[in-house]
Chain A
């Protein structure tokens, strides 16, 4: 930032920033502030009486083994969803990049899952894997694997990971495809002349050039797997069996909406908010440093 711009009017920059600041205040700061306030209160469901309890809600949380277990579940879940969704998106984009004929239809088809509402996506996968009705469950049974996500925590976790990743692949695909098309042809041709095979060209040249997009998608997919996967879990496993698929955001819903414990739910929201802020910060600090724009 060696150059400095000068505005003639002192207030103009602030006026220009105002709409964005207003949106941030109304849609983020205000609700977040409210969550902070509620997290130190104990309220009945109807809001008829509330009392200040300090950090009691937080102490209750961290005394709860199942809540602590939920951290591990969330970690496994979000890493797996992010990895599968990114790898899938990149694979399809790399393939689409080679296709010249009919690529529009192919692209549209790949984008479809992203347009499917989370609850519908959950229901779709639920039916395919339903132990007594599902096509895939029956196929698995035929090859000797007894699929049962109603009782087997591993099966259930796998189911919600696949359903969540499937929804996100199309979105990642689009970004990767745009990135691939922005890679200058001259560089690739030069490598080809030097005798690099397509796979080698991809990993040595194309993939590093995609790093800004990859980084952006990692952040985005992490946030997606933390928050937007609620619908999928709600429609398939409801956090079960034995809380095997109860990720943090589902717990917030369960505590707040099913059991009307607003204090506990707000405390969980605050914990979740802190985590995601920290995660984003770490990603920018360490991953971002290795990205070349």
Chain B
């Protein structure tokens, strides 16, 4: 009994002593699992050690979709975190929450002395600015698709790295003729072969500047360039010059197991490919379809940004602003970029990586940033902002699968995407008017 009492007294004493230095807590929900999640914890720990007023607590919430859904549900219950990581296709949904989100340009303008939006790479932030050009969320992990290739295989087959779709098809055919199971495969087919293909060739993806101009936007991919591209891919499936691996990142094992010579994937696949490949690999810019253009325009990003949610104390927002400043420092950014393959979000971080000789030691790791900054973005290559975009991606996945399995012609599938996509866009418009 006496021991029990002693225990209670000691516990109480510990509780009283703990918050001697009362720190403001900032909660950050994210969707970075595995090694990326450890890196996120490292970043938060770095910030927490750099000052003693605020504590950032990162919480892993599952996939991108689960994280966004959870944050919205929490908001409806009045339990929202301060910061939530949302993938690029959730942008329109987040923007529709007037009074729900705290635009980053407002937050930084109010609490961060000397914050300069021009420090960020235009190609990265263009996806997340309002029509007036104001930054709504802070880019955190942005990537863009690149073409990965098996260097050993190219040497063995006597092939050059392809720069056009014509060359890629010929190289893939050569690989298959010489006993490879598959010439080329692609992860994230919608993001890479439709969304980025359109931007890369300066083709419109949707009307009203790809949806930046308002909720009345309509799908615009029923053009000759896209239909011909899908027809070419379909032709390549016939002899396994292109093998469809499944949705999202399903193609990765096929490249790492040396079943396919070429692999379209996010630049952020670098970490996994670097650890998983026991062959010489390289990355290069996406090929150009010379039937449409001689020179590529620029690619668009994927990945996610950090949104700030309304409903917290002023002191806490001050802390969020401090954390965002820390997150944007060249050292933190360059480290994150070099570890993950995500692009640096500021010019300074890019220059720092150059100074550190990272690109010389790891050739090709600046491919993503080169693609993004190739040209001044046009209304077709700034980004894509559609409501119900998650569902529209599923529609695109389904219709493309119908092409790969021979149930629909490329033209039928693309028209179905336009028709079904428009229905989803109208639905979003009705719910958010």
Interface of A with B (CB < 8 Å)? Answer: 42-48, 60, 130-133, 150-153, 238, 240-243, 254, 257-261, 263-264
Contact = CB atoms under 8 A, between A and B. Distances in A.
Contact of B65 (A133, A151, A257, A261): A257
11 contacts: A46-B100, A130-B253, A132-B257, A150-B401, A151-B401, A151-B405, A242-B399, A254-B394, A258-B391, A259-B388, A260-B69
B245 interface: yes
B420 to A, nearest CB: 9
Contacts of B391: 254, 258-259
Interface of B: 65-66, 69, 72, 75-76, 93, 96-100, 244-247, 250, 253-254, 257, 259, 388, 390-391, 394, 397-399, 401-402, 404-405, 407, 424, 427, 430-432
A156 to B, nearest CB: 10
Given A132-B259, A150-B245, A241-B405, A48 B250 contact: no
A241 B401 contact: yes
Nearest to A151: B405
A44 B96 contact: yes
Contacts of A243: 398
Contact of A132 (B96, B253, B390, B394): B253
A44 B398 contact: no
A241 B432 CA distance: 30
Contacts of B401: 150-151, 240-242
Q: Say what secondary structure dominates the interface of chain B.
A: helix
Q: Say what secondary structure dominates the interface of chain A.
A: loop
Contact of A46 (B76, B259, B388): B76
A44 B388 CA distance: 11
B390 A259 contact: yes
Contacts of B427: 60, 261, 264
B412 to A, nearest CB: 13
Given A151-B405, A258-B65, A258-B391, A240 B247 contact: yes
A42 B247 contact: no
A152 B245 CA distance: 12
Given A48-B99, A132-B254, A238 B247 contact: yes
A259 B93 CA distance: 9
B253 A46 contact: no
Contacts of A152: 405
In the complex, the 4 A-B pairs of residues with the closest C-beta atoms, listed nearest first: A150-B246, A259-B391, A241-B401, A46-B97
Contacts of B75: 46
Contacts, number: 83
B253 A44 contact: no
Given A132-B259, A258-B390, A260-B69, A150 B398 contact: no
Contacts of B402: 242
A254 B98 CA distance: 24
A48 B98 CA distance: 8
Contact of A261 (B76, B398, B431): B431
Contacts of A259: 388, 390-391, 424
Contact of B398 (A45, A48, A240, A260): A240
A258 B72 CA distance: 12
Contact of B76 (A47, A238, A242): A47
Contact of A42 (B96, B245, B398, B431): B431
A264 B428 CA distance: 12
A94 to B, nearest CB: 39
Contacts of B65: 257-258
Contacts of A260: 69, 72, 93
Nearest to A47: B76
B185 to A, nearest CB: 9
A73 B305 CA distance: 37
A131 B251 CA distance: 11
Contacts of A43: 431
A46 B394 CA distance: 22
Nearest to A255: B391
A259 B427 CA distance: 11
A50 to B, nearest CB: 9
A45 B72 contact: yes
